[in-house]
Amino acid sequence: MSISQTITDFVTLAIQAGGWMELDRLYLQNRVLAAIGEESLDAISPTVVKKSSLELMDELVAQAKKNDIVKETSADLEIFEAQLMDFLTPPPSVVNALFAQYYEKDPADATDYFYKLSQENDYIKTRAIAKNIVFPAETEYGQLEITINLSRPEKDPKEIAAQRQVTQVDYPKCVLCMENEGYKGRTNYPARTNHRIIRMNLDGESWGFQYSPYAYYHEHSIILSEEHRPMVISKETFRRLVRITEVLPHYFVGSNADLPIVGGSILSHDHYQAGRHVFPMEKAEIEQYFELNEYPLMNAGIVKWPMSVIRLQSPNSEDLIEAAALILAKWQNYSDELVSVRAFSADGTPHHTITPIARRKGSLFELDLVLRDNNVSSAFPNGIFHPHQEVQHIKKENIGLIEVMGLAVLPPRLNEELKEVANYVLAKENQLADYHKPWADQMKNTYSFNEENVEEIIQKEVGQIFAQVLADAGVYKRTPEGQAAFKRFIDRL
């Protein structure tokens, strides 16, 4: 295909996206022509486009490289690609107007539109996400989901060195701020020219709805406060989460905890994560019901899950919010020394919070409240209720919202390391990391390995370790002692 055909087709897609009209064609073609360093364009009549937007982008980038317009570093390429794909992305006002039009018919139609746009304009990095290794793992808690995260590009040494020379800029304040919309990016900051945010009003506050560029599950989205302020779990949090399930009833929505160790990776900006995905924890059933003294008509119970989860269900959203606020207040001030549960340090530092998840179940509002405790000890300096040392060869990072719900996001190092584990148990030449050896030896003593079953067994065992990771992060262990302690807390409610 000639570069003139590529530009013509690319502009056709830009017009179809809704931000331009056919009258803008010559203008757009000349803009793209200049962007890639070409000087002239053959006259080609627009036809049905047979290539995807990403394929056409690749051809334009290749031509720009030939013309020395763009450098080979990943940061420069990312910035250039986002600028090209901005042509395929209507302005924020138009995206919001189209979202509203679709929403009038059906909220799912609105998110379908925005999700498709965010994929086709390469804001959602579909090709990078496809590199992730994903597999299920059967456990006593049902089928957990395992992801080895290979999607985020690694910086090369030249870029790392270049970053040291970059002037520090406090704009945008963080990657979740609304100021990212349309931001060019820089060597040490992601390109966001093709980024769009849907505006939401949540009880009089301005919030934004966007998709995650490196999604871990279907329609992985982020709902963020317009104000750059720290994450806080409060009654207002529960109210917003429930309100979001009214606005987007086909999505779950949850929040990371608001304390270090048990919190997510970004505590500096108030935000939630949502999406169109049924997580393993949602499928887990209530194994023990109890009655809340002030809300006798509400379904309340303990979920069969390795972490400590209270599930509330009610057709009355206000009752649900009030009950959740009551549980949070009780938990924030509750201690039980028999099981190392301490609400405060001697200096008054708080240690208790909740990871909440809201969803709709027909006419019912459902809220899962996961109890979190971020205490440390001499035996567990990384956190008493954090992955313990014996499982950190697989997962040692914080257990945030996504992991809490049963989806493991494991580090990219495991892609190669698990291959060496396979070589080791098959008695082949290997470079097994020392920290995997006890686990690998244990598997060798348990299974008879061959080329056909080795991957399946290792994946199954990784799933068992992830279940143990969640159990380590659980405040009340699934032992007689732990469950008796959980009941002592429930009795306070």
- pLDDT by residue for the chain (493 residues), tens digit each? 799 999 999 999 999 999 999 999 999 999 999 999 999 999 898 999 999 999 999 999 999 999 999 988 889 999 999 999 999 999 999 999 999 999 999 999 999 999 999 999 999 999 999 999 999 999 999 999 999 999 875 555 454 455 455 567 889 999 999 999 999 999 889 999 999 999 999 989 999 999 999 999 999 999 999 999 999 999 999 999 999 999 999 999 999 999 988 987 788 999 999 999 999 999 999 999 999 988 988 999 999 999 999 999 999 999 999 999 999 999 999 999 999 999 999 999 999 999 999 999 999 999 999 999 999 999 999 999 999 999 999 999 989 999 999 999 999 999 999 999 999 999 999 999 999 999 999 999 999 999 999 999 999 999 999 999 999 999 999 999 999 999 999 999 9
Q: What is the pTM of this model?
A: 0.94
Q: How far apart are CA 454 and CA 65, in angstroms?
A: 43
CA-to-CA separations, 423 to 135, 451, 456, 465, 491, in angstroms, rounded: 20, 10, 14, 20, 52
Q: Indicate the domain borders of the chain.
A: 3-120
Residue 267 CB-density burial (10 A; 0-12 exposed, 13-18 middle, 19+ buried): middle
The confidence score (pLDDT) of residue 72 equals 85
Sheet of 286-289: strands edge to edge?
Answer: 198-202, 205-211, 221-225, 271-275, 252-254, 352-361, 364-373, 309-314, 299-303, 286-289
Task: Give the per-residue pLDDT at 162.
Answer: 54
Cα Rg of the chain, angstroms = 25
Residue 360 CA to residue 248 CA, distance in Å, equals 9
For residues 195 and 118, give the distance between their C-alpha atoms in angstroms, rounded to a whole number: 8
Amino acid type, 52? S
Q: Which of 447, 482, 485 is nearest to 464 (CA)?
A: 447
Amino acid at 139: T
Using CA atoms, how far apart are residues 474 and 486, in angstroms rounded to an integer?
11
Tell me how far the alpha carbon of residue 118 is from its chain's centroid.
15
| Alpha-carbon span 72 to 158, nearest angstrom | 11
pLDDT value of residue 1: 73
Question: CA-to-CA distance for 70 and 37, rounded, in angstroms?
Answer: 10
Q: Are 457 and 443 in contact (CB under 8 A)?
A: yes
> Nearest-CA neighbor of 471 among 347, 411, 386, 370?
386
Per-residue model confidence (pLDDT) at position 376: 94
Q: What gap in Å lies between CA 492 and CA 326, rounded to an integer? A: 11
pLDDT of residue 154: 55
What pLDDT, on a 0 to 100 scale, did the predictor assign at position 430?
A: 97
86: nearest Cα among 189, 174, 17: 17
Q: Amino acid identity, residue 453? A: N
Work out whether the CA dihedral 121, 199, 170, 232 comes out positive or negative: negative
